[in-house]
């Protein structure tokens, strides 16, 4: 162990973390995105305290009321307060985005590491599977898997996670291949470090930046996919609110209650846009090519 600790500072590539951070903090788009997401996340966390009404309690006296001082965003077809449903719905969307990307990375990154690091038959097998999965469009695959697993928010997260997995596997593999013959890896191998250690200590930290960028961008697609699945009835089940399922209900009242469509769609759009801005900012800050 002592040997490894004395060797690692030499093998480790110097990283310009502070410069990247500075660049990221100076990116207006990314900061706006981050700010919006923090507000949404707080709203989701404190939903029980800030939501003015119970999001699932129906009230037939106030069916489809337009926005007013009492109901800021109006009410839906069962007399439920749209603002309260929107705030509670943020929980589903944000959690679904995070968890499905966590699932995708938990499976995809190890597969990509194995394929890229060991190569050979293992690489051929993993790459073929990834190719096959990637030949079905992300959303179509997620819908098919979601239908197969059965309609629920958890199943939708699993379906989206599995559909996004091959993207991470392919990206990780490509990144590993690009650093495979770097001197610091050759050196680590030459002094006989176990593969497990090399992967965890030298490979993974050096390919982390593109993975982080991809994670932010994939959360954006995952939230969009969760909304799509809920819109089709494959995600969050009634009476619990989700932005996608709120839009599905709103669709039937486009003429009578147009306000029902506005808020949930805008919430999805702003959240996804924020994650995309964040991903762009991270990509600019972490990409060595764009540092000039």
Partner 1 sequence: MIAFIARRLVGAIPTLILISLFVFTLQKLLPGDPILAMAGEERDPAVIALLHEKYHLDQPIPIQYIRWVGGLLQGDFGMSLRTEQPVTTLVASKLPVTLELAALALIIALAIGIPAGIIAALRKGTALDYGANIVALSGISIPHFWLGILLIMLFSVKLKWLPASGFVPLFDDPVQNFKTLILPAFVVGVGLAGTLMRHTRGAMLSVLGTDYVRTARAKGLMPRSVVLKHAFRNALMPIVTLTTLLFGEMLGGAVLTEQVFSIPGFGKMIVDAVFNRDYAVVQGVVLCVAVGFVLLNLLADVLYRVINPRLRTAS
Helix axis angle for 2-11 and 183-190, nearest 10°, is 160
Please tell me the count of residues contacting partner 1 according to CB under 8 A: 41
Contact status: 39 vs partner 1 (CB under 8 A): no
Looking at 51, 111, 224, 282, which residue binds partner 1 (CB under 8 A)?
Answer: 224
Q: Which of residues 231-270 bind partner 1 (CB under 8 A)?
A: 231-233, 244, 247, 250-251, 254-255, 258, 261, 264-265, 268-269
Distances (CA, A) of 210 to 36, 110, 175, 194: 23, 15, 8, 25
Are the beta carbons of 203 and 185 closer than 8 angstroms?
yes
Q: Could you tell me the two tokens for 258?
A: 């147009």
Contact status: 150 vs partner 1 (CB under 8 A): yes
Q: SS3 of 75, please?
A: strand
Nearest to 247 by CA among 38, 94, 77, 124: 77
- Tokens 């030949």 identify what position? 135
If you compute the radius of gyration of the chain from its CA atoms, what whole number of angstroms results? 23
Looking at 2, 148, 192, 194, which residue binds partner 1 (CB under 8 A)?
Answer: 148
Looking at 36, 129, 177, 208, which residue binds partner 1 (CB under 8 A)?
Answer: 129
Contact status: 182 vs partner 1 (CB under 8 A): no
**Looking at 60-68, 146-154, 175-183, 195-203, which segment touches partner 1 (CB under 8 A)?**
146-154
Q: SS3 of 81, please?
A: strand
Residues that bind partner 1 (CB under 8 A): 29, 128-129, 131-133, 135-140, 143-144, 147-148, 150, 220, 224, 227-228, 231-233, 244, 247, 250-251, 254-255, 258, 261, 264-265, 268-269, 272-273, 276-277, 280
């Amino acid at each position: 162990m002592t040997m490894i600790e004395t060797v690692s500072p030499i093998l480790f590539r110097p990283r310009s973390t502070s410069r990247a951070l500075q660049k990221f903090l100076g990116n207006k788009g990314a900061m706006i995105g981050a700010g919006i997401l923090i507000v949404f996340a707080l709203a989701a966390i404190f939903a029980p305290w800030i939501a003015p009404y119970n999001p699932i309690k129906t009230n037939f006296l106030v069916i489809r009321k337009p926005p007013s001082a009492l109901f800021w965003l109006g009410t839906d077809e069962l007399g439920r307060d749209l603002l309260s449903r929107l705030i509670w719905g943020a929980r589903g969307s944000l959690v679904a985005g995070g968890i499905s990307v966590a699932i995708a990375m938990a499976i995809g990154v190890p597969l990509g590491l194995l394929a890229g690091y060991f190569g050979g038959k293992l690489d051929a097998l993993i790459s073929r599977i990834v190719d096959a999965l990637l030949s079905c469009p992300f959303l179509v695959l997620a819908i098919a898997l979601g239908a197969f697993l059965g309609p629920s928010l958890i199943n939708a997260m699993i379906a989206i996670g599995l559909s996004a997995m091959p993207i991470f596997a392919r990206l990780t593999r490509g990144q590993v291949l690009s650093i495979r013959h770097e001197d610091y890896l050759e050196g680590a191998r030459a002094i006989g470090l176990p593969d497990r250690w090399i992967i965890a200590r030298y490979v993974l930290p050096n390919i982390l930046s593109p993975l982080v960028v991809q994670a932010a961008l994939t959360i954006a697609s995952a939230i969009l996919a969760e909304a799509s699945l809920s819109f089709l009835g494959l995600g969050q089940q009634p009476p619990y609110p989700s932005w996608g399922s709120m839009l599905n209900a709103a669709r039937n009242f486009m003429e009578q209650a147009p306000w029902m469509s506005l808020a949930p769609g805008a919430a999805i759009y702003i959240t996804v846009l924020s994650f995309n801005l964040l991903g762009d900012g991270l990509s600019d800050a972490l990409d060595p090519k764009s540092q000039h």
